[in-house]
Amino acid sequence: MKAEVYDYFFKEWLKVKEEYTIKKGIRSFSAYVTYRLAELLTQDKKSK
């Protein structure tokens, strides 16, 4: 993963970490990235 992509996701994770831990049970950065990528792929499929 490019450093720019990693940095973007990590900064976003820090902003929503507490909320995602409580509401979605996501407790790690890697789980957050996996969740977000799956979410983006789902949105992409719906738009086609």
Record the tokens describing residue 46, joined without a space.
Answer: 């719906």
State which residues form the domain around 25.
3-47
1-48 tens-digit pLDDT: 899 999 999 999 999 999 999 999 999 999 999 999 999 999 998 887
- Give backbone dihedrals phi and psi of 28, rounded to 5 degrees, phi first: -130, 160
Q: How far apart are CA 26 and CA 35, in angstroms?
A: 9
The residue written with tokens 């407790």 in the block is 27
Number of domain units in the chain: 1
pLDDT value at position 43?
Answer: 93
- The pTM is what? 0.82
